[in-house]
Structure 1
């Protein structure tokens, strides 16, 4: 590895393959099984400059995988050694925004073993958001909400005299994008892929975060299907093919056929409504369905002011769709700003008894947003990247459904969410998914509902105002009932800074905002690695701290490897049990127990109990008997001690 411009070793380092910037052995059995191998740029040969590690929000290192990347200037390169045979790569990168926003494009040359060159055209048109939620594309904009609390100045600007000066660009974020490239042939393990910023690049700098390499198979072919080409679809993307897709779907339903979309890039600029139909592409590298965002002449009844490419089930108000099966293609949108009323998602509507498998979804608002009631949908083996908002959201009454073996990177909000607004999501499972670098909010969030499971997931590098896993009574969600199983998950470098409270969050956090949380919640077999602040947090908001409690939460067989502050932070009334929770490299006292901040003579309003809880840090055992059952140990903002990198237990 090179450590600075102009310095090189004589021999290239052996390829370092990681998962979420970790040794794969540390996360064995957790997360998605994918077809590509991940290599971090900082582990490759380069003559650029390493940036990071840093977890400070609004900085380039913080949003990089592993919180470290390589910054190149024109003429510099980073070179990866292929760990396995490959004929395709994916580059995660960042380049500057235009001075007035809107993004730029810039070249990146790709060579293998010094041979023929391919040039990727990088873009920042889908990156660089600013300001307060729901954000702006204008780096020079003033506050969107001048009456909101601003952590940076500790004030509410509209009520502050004199009004503070807010430096622009204010809170820049969402810096990264990624781009795939099919190479001209199959290369073998040991071959060298060099990414070079040309000397004449108009980008002052190019940050390379990582390279994914993959051996892509031949296109899938279906000769006995309703082929969209026969109905006028254009595989070169010059004309809109939406009507051709509709005709192919109608023909397929009439004659009980599947719809087949051969290799090509198809322009589709509106929703394709799907019901009782199977649509197959040739594979997500081969079949690309790509659309522009189109402004509507008048807002739609649901408040949308744009439409764009997406496959939508019928609305639940008219019964939704059923028996929809989508597989083997890419959906690439054109969403560059966040408008929450817009239906510009890759997949939308209601689809019962359906499957979504093997899609690649990029540059839409939300990858998959399901509005129930609906049941029995299986979302499997998809790659969802570079979203403005969520990766996937089960919204309102989604039941008996599965989200498994999906890879989500660079979501602009919760990567995976179940939001039980008005009606409970029930009997659903999020299993064996990988989540990396959600820019805002959480890796996995469960807002109310009944009898749901979060299992065997890998969640890494949440950036701000959220963390790896949240159990939240908020956003108008119905109460938690029945049980919630959170089992055998691994989080790493989680626990972000909460702007409104000016404190650090836990890697897993329980938040009672709208009502109490008292369902049977079992957190079993989870590993919380390299936690920025706390590993585990229980909290309510100050105005409701005397109204709501968190109880009936049970931790068992947990490993905590490294905390910047405590293992457990309690900032609410309630209780939890802990059995065989082992911790090491704890930065502060093991339990930071503030309760609901009344500091009564009888102790904290939050009590902890259990046995077999071993390990700790410099202050002694994390679960010492003197801390039980409810001893007040409140340090509202303890100093952060950076933990060492995770290692085998």
Structure 2
């Protein structure tokens, strides 16, 4: 159906749509290199804003279907079917606009000043796979601005399996991961009230264009070089020349690590990197037993300005120094500060086509004293993997402790966004944005690959004030084992197949104990069907697969428009004893119940001030055969 739709409303990040966010713009910093201060908001938010949900983002997000358009409105089917080339399901808000004919467009009027644009889009794959590029025309107030270059190189995975290692880049019937993003800094800055149009002109030649959403952001000027920092150009790197700068980057980092310089400066520019930055191991203990960097400070001119990029997919690179984690990014062991850069990998697959992997942006032991701020990562297998197995050079093993991430922008991965594993503790991810991750956007995995499984348990980690959109596989946020972990003040929307939030004991974690807190979160259109569409997941799912999950508190949370259940206690070999659910609103569980205890679920929950409305299969449903008990009834409904 062709539509010409009237202009829709703009929705804030804390609104019920959960789709758009406005934040203060970054300012420059000139702090001493011994204590790096990444770009910060231009002014402090009021104290009461600390409890607001989601990240404070420097861009405003505009949904294509909420603007004026001439094209085809594409919406998800009722069950938001995934994995069968379902563009509507994979769209933000479960809708996007398709442009087929010359002159078709998406148009919207800005509410913020901008000098940049990001377009989440989909164009066809190349006939034989591998992707292609095509242009789309950008106009402002009726005047042509420039061509945007769109690419399908990092999208279009094929196969009818839900095992990610079974997917391929070779075209066949069913496809997923259909969308990617294109971005551009514009030559001019445009005021609020500008009417922008993305239009298919005669020389825009892709067979079709899906436009899902647009981010507009006023990007600050490049940050100045901090006093005492030494530029990678002093070691031979040359911006924008297309040649590999790895040797120069590595030399600068090594000089800092050895105390020859105070910190590494990455000026504005495009810097090609085709090897992982790490520490040379004189014992040469092999590609899976690497030594990371430590005692290093690396600062850039801003995530839009200082960009590391890789041209060669890791599985095609050959001879790289870190085959397991790829040919880009940094291996970190301890006490490392990285801020205000971008890392763009060149991954195209996860596991398929001969066990290929897409690489990891930041990986390693991380240790103590590590802070990462304002780093943009795309097209990696994993954005950040915190922790190494104890067996990987045991004498160097140490868990991430007190590791901090803030202002991260992680998008379009093939697996996790940020995963805290191998005993990571007292660490946090705050005020960050995740979109289109291929596994959990955020996870604590209290794995057993540690020095002492009795004590080295992932604990007291916090995921707070983050915005998560469109995980195309697995969860928005997951915790697998451990204690004292907190999920708070996050906004999560549009999971393809798994929950927005999941606590689980699959993946063989160390046990849950103490309290796991889920507080003041907001979930929209979460949950889905997976594993051959045989399992249906709730927006929040508690899965005691083989061990108990004690100490669960869910409070002050709003769950909207779930594909199946609002809160689900899933069948497993363990139990969920004494779960406390307080001040929770669940509205519109489309194909399930407000709260479901499956037939094999064991344990009990207490409800206090819980409101459930518009559930397809009842407010509370305990399936026959389940010994699960629920005390307390949903609150009386107004009217």
Is residue 2:489 matched to residue 1:456?
yes
Q: Aligned in 2, Cα 1:390/1:8: closer, same or farther, shift over 3 Å?
A: closer
Is residue 2:546 matched to residue 1:514?
yes
Partner of 1:293: 313
Q: Aligned in 2, Cα 1:97/1:18: closer, same or farther, shift over 3 Å?
A: farther
Is residue 2:633 matched to residue 1:608?
no
Equivalent pair of 2:8/2:66 in contact (CA under 8 Å): no
Equivalent pair of 1:299/1:305 in contact (CA under 8 Å): no
- Distance in 2 separating the partners of 1:282 and 1:126: 26
Is residue 2:58 matched to residue 1:42?
no
Partner of 2:147: 119
Give the one of 534, 542, 551 matched to 2:565.
534
Give the one of 432, 450, 454 matched to 2:465.
432
Q: Aligned in 2, Cα 1:61/1:337: closer, same or farther, shift over 3 Å?
A: same
Partner of 1:219: 222
- Distance in 1 separating the partners of 2:435 and 2:176: 15
Q: Aligned in 2, Cα 1:104/1:74: closer, same or farther, shift over 3 Å?
A: farther
Deviation of 1:138 (Å): 4.1
Deviation of 1:553 (Å): 1.2
- Distance in 1 separating the partners of 2:58 and 2:192: 15
For the residue of structure 2 that corresponds to 1:438, the secondary structure is coil
For the residue of structure 2 that corresponds to 1:329, the secondary structure is strand
Is residue 2:125 matched to residue 1:67?
no
Partner of 2:266: 261
Equivalent pair of 2:370/2:403 in contact (CA under 8 Å): yes
Is residue 2:29 matched to residue 1:29?
no
Equivalent pair of 2:500/2:526 in contact (CA under 8 Å): yes
Normalised to the residue count of structure 1, the TM-score between the two structures is 0.82
Is residue 2:510 matched to residue 1:487?
no
Partner of 1:149: none
**Which residues in structure 2 correspond to 1:411-426 (within 5 Å)?**
411-422=437-448, 423=453, 424-426=457-459
- Distance in 1 separating the partners of 2:336 and 2:410: 19
Deviation of 1:307 (Å): 2.6
Q: Aligned in 2, Cα 1:96/1:540: closer, same or farther, shift over 3 Å?
A: same
- Distance in 2 separating the partners of 1:44 and 1:216: 23
Equivalent pair of 1:17/1:37 in contact (CA under 8 Å): no
Deviation of 1:370 (Å): 1.0
Deviation of 1:536 (Å): 0.6
Normalised to the residue count of structure 2, the TM-score between the two structures is 0.83
- Distance in 2 separating the partners of 1:612 and 1:367: 40
Q: Aligned in 2, Cα 1:444/1:305: closer, same or farther, shift over 3 Å?
A: closer
**Which residues in structure 2 correspond to 1:303-452 (within 5 Å)?**
304=323, 307-313=326-332, 321-339=333-351, 342=357, 344-351=359-366, 352-372=368-388, 373-422=399-448, 423=453, 424-452=457-485
Is residue 2:82 matched to residue 1:57?
yes
Give the one of 251, 255, 272 matched to 2:255.
251
- Distance in 1 separating the partners of 2:216 and 2:318: 43
Equivalent pair of 1:112/1:193 in contact (CA under 8 Å): yes
Q: Aligned in 2, Cα 1:38/1:457: closer, same or farther, shift over 3 Å?
A: same
Q: Aligned in 2, Cα 1:190/1:296: closer, same or farther, shift over 3 Å?
A: closer
Q: Aligned in 2, Cα 1:185/1:22: closer, same or farther, shift over 3 Å?
A: farther
Deviation of 1:237 (Å): 4.2
- Distance in 2 separating the partners of 1:482 and 1:306: 34
Partner of 2:394: none
Partner of 1:164: none
Deviation of 1:434 (Å): 0.7
For the residue of structure 1 that corresponds to 2:485, the secondary structure is strand
Q: Aligned in 2, Cα 1:338/1:503: closer, same or farther, shift over 3 Å?
A: closer
Equivalent pair of 1:226/1:251 in contact (CA under 8 Å): no
Give the one of 495, 501, 505 matched to 1:469.
501
For the residue of structure 1 that corresponds to 2:513, the secondary structure is strand
Unaligned regions of 5+ residues in structure 1, if any? Answer: 141-167, 314-320, 542-546, 618-649
For the residue of structure 1 that corresponds to 2:98, the secondary structure is strand
Deviation of 1:109 (Å): 1.4
Q: Aligned in 2, Cα 1:327/1:198: closer, same or farther, shift over 3 Å?
A: same
Is residue 2:604 matched to residue 1:575?
yes
Deviation of 1:577 (Å): 1.1
Is residue 2:210 matched to residue 1:207?
yes
Deviation of 1:469 (Å): 0.5
Partner of 1:155: none
**1:128-153 CA distances to partner (integer Å, 9 max, x unpaired)?**
1122222433455xxxxxxxxxxxxx
For the residue of structure 2 that corresponds to 1:107, the secondary structure is strand
Q: Aligned in 2, Cα 1:430/1:342: closer, same or farther, shift over 3 Å?
A: same
Deviation of 1:77 (Å): 1.4
Deviation of 1:480 (Å): 0.5
Equivalent pair of 2:313/2:358 in contact (CA under 8 Å): no
Partner of 2:39: none
Deviation of 1:411 (Å): 0.5
For the residue of structure 1 that corresponds to 2:106, the secondary structure is strand
- Distance in 1 separating the partners of 2:610 and 2:204: 52
- Between the two proteins, the alignment pairs up a number of residues equal to 560
Q: Structure 1 residues 400-409 or 129-138, which shifts more?
A: 129-138
Deviation of 1:82 (Å): 1.3
Unaligned regions of 5+ residues in structure 2, if any? Answer: 22-50, 279-292, 389-398
Q: Aligned in 2, Cα 1:139/1:267: closer, same or farther, shift over 3 Å?
A: closer
Deviation of 1:549 (Å): 2.0
- RMSD value, Cα: 2.4
Partner of 1:16: 10
For the residue of structure 1 that corresponds to 2:124, the secondary structure is coil
**1:53-83 CA distances to partner (integer Å, 9 max, x unpaired)?**
4322130010111000111014221122111
Deviation of 1:221 (Å): 1.0
Deviation of 1:234 (Å): 1.5
